[in-house]
Amino acid sequence: MVRHRRDPRGFGRPYRRARGGPSFRAVRRRHARAGRFRGVSAGLSFADVACVRGGRSLFEGLRFALGPGEAALVTGPNGAGKSSLIRIAAGLLPPATGRVAGDGARALLAETAALDPELGLAAAVRFWARIDGHAAAVEAALATVGLEKLAQVPVRLLSTGQRRRAGFARVIASGAPVWLLDEPANGLDAGSVRTLETLIADHRSGGGIALVATHLPIALPHAQEVRL
Ligand SMILES: Nc1ncnc2c1ncn2[C@@H]1O[C@H](COP(=O)(O)OP(=O)(O)OP(=O)(O)O)[C@@H](O)[C@H]1O
């Protein structure tokens, strides 16, 4: 007899494992983890923000507001200022004018993963997770991005896509409700992009926020579009 179990993500239909897809237990675990922001307020807003770099105005009057479970997709041609916008959101670059406000810790996935190349992967991610007070979250974060078998491998030996996923593990392990993702799909194969989309969806369904700058297609259902 086939036992149908309700989809743990609450889609109201039985969970059917796709070929090569995650097991029921894995999905349920991931979903439970993603639910950790319920009841915690998260927010991110830009009010009339302008950005000037090297004396050149990149954008001005930028406004948007994200609440729990929401996402924004930042798009635009090369040099439009997508990375600059993410850096402003992360507090690494001051806006020329306007105000950025929000609730909850922010985690940044930038072009470089900022992981010590000489350390083993788990140790390198743990370095940041400790600072964020979530050292115990590293193992699960590596498993979530499918890198658990490479935990002892020095970061410098990882492939481009693996390094990207390692950066994502760092974001997950931070426990921050606000994710700032700069070109998260760069270097990822098609399967890893699907995983990335699922992780962002899980994060949002748990009340997290995602601000995503990308020039590659990423499915972000019901996201606001910020076009530069
Ligand atoms: N530190 C800096 N000093 C001066 N100008 C800078 C600095 N960093 C970036 N810029 C300029 O700001 C502009 C926007 O750069 P940014 O990286 O934000 O664009 P982007 O939209 O992310 O581009 P891409 O799609 O190519 O990644 C570029 O013209 C870049 O040369």
Å from CA of 13 to ligand 1 middle: 45
Instruction: Give me ligand 1 centre to Cα 80, in Å.
Output: 7
Q: Are the C-beta atoms of residues 30 and 144 closer than 8 Å to each other?
A: yes
Return the CATH number at 216.
3.40.50.300
Best of 49, 83, 182 to mutate for ligand 1, by most ligand atoms within 8 A of CB?
Answer: 83
Q: Which residue, judged by its Cα, is nearest atom 6 of ligand 1? A: 53
56-66, strands of its sheet edge to edge: 56-66, 43-53, 97-103
Residue 189 domain flag: yes
Has the ipTM of the complex gone over 0.90? yes
The predicted pLDDT at position 10 comes to 36
The distance between the two most distant Cα atoms of the chain, rounded to a whole number of Å, is 69
User: Which token pair is 172?
Assistant: 């997950």
**Domain membership flag for residue 143:** yes
List the pLDDT tens digit at each of the 228 positions of the chain. Answer: 444 444 333 333 444 455 555 555 565 555 445 445 555 678 999 999 999 999 999 999 999 999 999 999 999 999 999 999 999 999 999 999 999 999 999 999 998 878 999 999 999 999 998 888 888 889 999 999 999 999 999 999 999 999 999 999 999 999 999 999 999 999 888 988 999 999 999 999 999 999 999 998 999 999 999 999
Q: Taking the model in full, what pTM does it have?
A: 0.83
pLDDT at residue 30, rounded to an integer: 54
**41 in a structural domain:** no
> Are 128 and 67 within 8 A, CB to CB?
no
* Residue 192 covered by a domain: yes
Q: Is 212 within 8 Å of 74 (Cβ atoms)?
A: yes
User: What angle do helix axes 121-131 and 160-174 make, rounded to 10 degrees?
Assistant: 30
Q: What is the pLDDT of residue 36?
A: 57
Tell me what pLDDT residue 34 has: 44
pLDDT of residue 82: 96
Domain ranges, residue 178: 67-93+104-227
Cβ of residue 10 lying under 6 Å from some atom of ligand 1: no
Could you give the number of structural domains in the chain? 1
User: Is 125 inside any structural domain?
Assistant: yes
Let me know if residue 9 belongs to a domain: no
CA distances from 134 to 128, 137, 169 (A): 9, 5, 12
* Residue 36 domain flag: no
Q: What residue's CA is closest to ligand 1, atom 26?
A: 78
pLDDT at 12: 35
pLDDT at residue 67, rounded to an integer:
94
**87 in ligand 1 pocket by Cβ < 6 Å?**
no
**Looking at the domain assignment, is residue 184 inside a domain?**
yes
pLDDT at position 40, please? 61
